[in-house]
Amino acid sequence: MSLLRFSKNILCTNSVLPNLRSISIFPKLQIKKILEISNGKELIIKGEILPSPREPYLLKNTHPTVCPVCASGLDIKHTDVLILSQFVRSDGCMLPRRVTGLCRKQQRRMSALVTMAQKAGLMPNLNPDYSHKDPKKRYEWKKFNKYFDESTIKC
Amino acid sequence: MSVLKRVQQWATFARIWHVYDAAWQNPFQSAELLKKYLMGMYKPIYHPSNDCGDHVIVINSAEIALPGDEWKKRVYFHHTGYPGGATWTLAWDLHSKDPTMVPAVYNSMDGNLKRRYTMERLHIFPDSNVPKDLMANVSNQIRQIRPMPKRLDHYPEQQVKEFPKVIDYPKDYVVR
């Protein structure tokens, strides 16, 4: 979404490159962030891969062969929203295993915990655009508070 | 009676007012806890015929939490006594109509004649607006059983950003 917006901004600000397409067909050409647009006599548009904002705060993996969650040895509950939100996209969907890099068991467990957190209404900002952002506005029984028992997760 | 003895007598036999915040608590677990204070079971002077129950003010009863899909599936049965007077009310339906009515405490007690009198000492309020003269009597707060969860949008943005991250995105991932 942000990629399209950036490319649209470029098209609006300059008429030098009218043939530039905003949608790229080749997935390998999808750059992470379009950065520098330096103005002056020359117009230079660069695409650069920015370092991830998460890098300085990454947890050090003491057991590299094991998945990060198993290595951390944490008992993650459905209320630990700060940890669970790392595995969630901006519209509330869970990231696939090839992106998160967890083992099958932990991926299923995190998936179940994220479902619990979403149902309990603890992550209202990580929701699709058409949803109620406030859990109190939900329909009938869904507007009341809920909690879940993590021991019921089977994986 | 000497001054010290008078104070001791008062401290032992006075009726204490407690306050309990029911937000994000399970009503059934809370009922087991509050029942002890309402009946005076924690006091060494307890006896069934000794009127030693305390008052409990429950606030934020509209925010109680039930596990899983109990809101949808739990039903309360009531019969008026007349033919065709049976009603099955769902928990969420009852709570939306009257958030102060929580049958959990009444049902957790023994079904003896004292129950109705003990329930009169329980004051439930849906939010934290309690009359001032009631709050003036309160001298103890009962600890909550379950920890209150915090919503993601209630965390300051800086804290969310600086929280230790378990995983990082792969190099060729497009963040949506």
- Residues in A closer than 8 angstroms to B171, CB to CB, are 32, 49
Q: Nearest CA of chain B to the CA of A13: how many Å?
A: 24
Position A154 scores a pLDDT of 87
User: Contact B163/A148, CB-based, under 8 Å?
Assistant: no
Task: Report the candidate in A62, A81, A69, A91 with the shortest Cα–Cα distance to residue A120.
Answer: A81
pLDDT reading at B141 higher than 80: yes
Nearest to A94 by CA among B13, B21, B176: B176
Q: What is the ipTM of this complex?
A: 0.84
Say which residue the tokens 């004292």 belong to. Answer: B114
For residue B72, which residues of chain A lie inside 8 Å, CB to CB? 141
Flag if A124 and B152 touch (Cβ within 8 Å): yes
Q: Answer whether residue A26 shows pLDDT above 50.
A: no
* Span B106-134, pLDDT tens digits: 999 988 899 999 999 999 999 999 999 99
The average pLDDT across B57-65 equals 94
The model's pLDDT over A141-152, given as tens digits with 9 standing for 90+, comes to 889 999 999 998
Whether B46 and B40 have beta carbons less than 8 Å apart is answered as yes
The pLDDT of residue A138 is above 50? yes
Residue A32 — pLDDT band, cuts 50, 70, 90? Answer: low
Number of residues that make up chain B: 176
| Residue found by looking up tokens 């429950």 in the block | B58
Which is higher by pLDDT, B110 or B173? B110
Residues of A whose CB is below 8 A from B91: 141
Q: Examine the pLDDT at A64 and tell me if it is beyond 90.
A: no
Q: Tell me: pLDDT of B23 over 90.
A: yes
Per-residue confidence at B47, pLDDT binned at 50, 70, 90? very high
Fold of B12-162: Ribosomal Protein L13p; Chain: A; (3.90.1180)
Q: Please, which pLDDT band fits residue A155 given cuts at 50, 70 and 90?
A: confident
pLDDT score for A128: 87
pLDDT for A33: 66
Tell me whether residues A59 and B165 touch, CB distance under 8 A. yes
What per-residue confidence (pLDDT) applies to B87?
95
Q: What is the 3-state secondary structure (H, E, C) of chain B?
A: CCHHHHHHHHHHHCCCEEEEECCCCCHHHHHHHHHHHHHCCCCCCCCCCCCCCCEEEEECHHHCEEECCHHHHCEEEEECCCCCCEEEEEHHHHHHHCCCCCHHHHHHCCCCCHHHHHHHCEEECCCCCCCHHHHCCEEEECCCCCCCCCCHHHCCHHHHHHCCECCCCCCCCCCC
Contact A59 B164 (CB under 8 A): yes
Q: Is the pLDDT of residue A12 over 80?
A: no
**Backbone torsions φ then ψ of B36, nearest 5 degrees:** -65, -40
By mean pLDDT, which of A7-21, A95-109, A125-139, B97-111 is the weakest? A7-21
How far apart CA A14 and CA A30 sit, in angstroms, is 21
Question: Span A93-113, mean pLDDT?
Answer: 92
Q: Which of B63, B161, B172 lies at the smallest CB-CB distance from A145?
A: B63
Q: What percent of chain B has pLDDT over 90?
A: 84
pLDDT of the residue at A27: 41
Chain A partners within 8 Å of B158 (Cβ): none
pTM of the model as a whole: 0.80
Judged on CB neighbours under 10 Å (0-12, 13-18, 19+), A67 is buried
Q: Is the pLDDT of residue A54 over 90?
A: no
Distance CA B34, CA B60 (A): 15
